């Protein structure tokens, strides 16, 4: 698969098949992803690859919090500006329409959303931390790194879903992972083989002219 193919076939997959990810495949991907670029080569990501019993334990802990109506931990950073405006609202709505479709009732949406904390059935997940004092440009390094991981996963026939949702229960993640206090959880990423029985509509993108300006 060439790079165009990897970019084109990467989608956020929200239902994974039971087939386990071989540890050597995950290691190969993470070793290759270490070549992702970062400002001054800081490589500011701290990644925990979690599978087996610790992942089951984490899912169980969050499931019992959800069942108790616990809406999550204090948020450590904002994921959107306080007042989201156009064109972002329109783009977010396009995702909602594709993702939830006809299921526009709040209970069904909540149930679908809660699948985040089961990793959509995946048996492998990454949890990505940064040092708390890293400013915005270093967060972009982490984004570049995560996309590198996602594209390499495609080369292995694997799929993924990056999940900010995990930061909402960062204390449970920390209980299982045990990161040093100076690290902040940015997101999780579920990894596995896509369940062939479930189709994922492509999420539309803004026309190029909305996001790119050519000069000269």
Ligand X SMILES: Cc1cc2nc3c(=O)[nH]c(=O)nc-3n(C[C@H](O)[C@H](O)[C@H](O)COP(=O)(O)O)c2cc1C
Site for ligand X, rule CB under 6 A:
11-12, 14, 95, 116, 161-165, 187, 203
Task: Let me know: does 39 contact 141? Beta carbons within 8 Å.
Answer: yes
How far apart are alpha carbons 7 and 124 in whole angstroms? 21
Smallest distance, ligand X to C-beta of residue 12, A: 3
Residues 6 or more apart in contact with residue 162 via CB below 8 angstroms: 12, 146, 150, 187, 188, 189
> Of the two residues 162 and 172, which places its CB atom closer to ligand X in the complex?
162
> Of the two residues 124 and 162, which places its CB atom closer to ligand X in the complex?
162
- Reduce the secondary structure of 57-120 to three states and give it as a string: HHHHHHHHHHHCCCCCCCCCCCCCCCCCCCCHHHHHHHHHHHHHCCCCCHHHHHHHHHHHHHHH
Smallest distance, ligand X to C-beta of residue 63, A: 16
Could you tell me the sign of the dihedral formed by the alpha carbons of 196, 192, 129, 148, in that order? negative
Smallest distance, ligand X to C-beta of residue 3, A: 16
> Of the two residues 64 and 140, which places its CB atom closer to ligand X in the complex?
140
The single residue listed with the structure tokens 């993640």 is 173
How far apart are alpha carbons 139 and 133 in whole angstroms? 11
> Of the two residues 81 and 216, which places its CB atom closer to ligand X in the complex?
81
Smallest distance, ligand X to C-beta of residue 125, A: 12
> Of the two residues 29 and 186, which places its CB atom closer to ligand X in the complex?
186
How far apart are alpha carbons 156 and 46 in whole angstroms? 23
> Of the two residues 123 and 159, which places its CB atom closer to ligand X in the complex?
159
The closest alpha carbon to 188, from 27, 56, 49, belongs to 49
Smallest distance, ligand X to C-beta of residue 189, A: 9
Smallest distance, ligand X to C-beta of residue 39, A: 18
């Amino acid at each position: 698969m060439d790079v165009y193919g990897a970019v084109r076939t990467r989608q956020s997959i929200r239902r994974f098949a039971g087939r386990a990810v071989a540890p050597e495949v995950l290691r190969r991907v993470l070793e290759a992803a270490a070549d992702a670029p970062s400002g001054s080569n800081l490589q500011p990501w701290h990644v925990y690859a979690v599978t087996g019993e610790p992942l089951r334990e984490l899912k169980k802990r969050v499931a019992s919090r959800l069942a108790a109506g616990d809406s999550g931990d204090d948020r450590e950073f904002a994921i959107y500006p306080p007042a989201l405006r156009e064109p972002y609202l329109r783009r977010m709505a396009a995702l909602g329409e594709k993702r939830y479709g006809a299921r526009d009732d709040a209970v069904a949406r909540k149930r679908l959303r809660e699948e985040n904390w089961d990793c959509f059935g995946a048996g492998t997940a990454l949890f990505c931390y940064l040092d708390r004092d890293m400013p915005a440009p270093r967060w972009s390094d982490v984004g570049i790194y995560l996309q590198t991981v996602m594209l390499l996963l495609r080369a292995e026939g694997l799929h993924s879903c990056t999940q900010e949702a995990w930061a909402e229960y960062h204390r449970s993640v920390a209980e299982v992972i045990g990161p040093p206090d100076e690290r902040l959880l940015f997101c999780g990423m579920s990894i596995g083989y896509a369940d062939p029985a479930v189709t994922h509509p492509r999420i539309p993108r803004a026309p190029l002219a909305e996001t790119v300006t050519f000069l000269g």
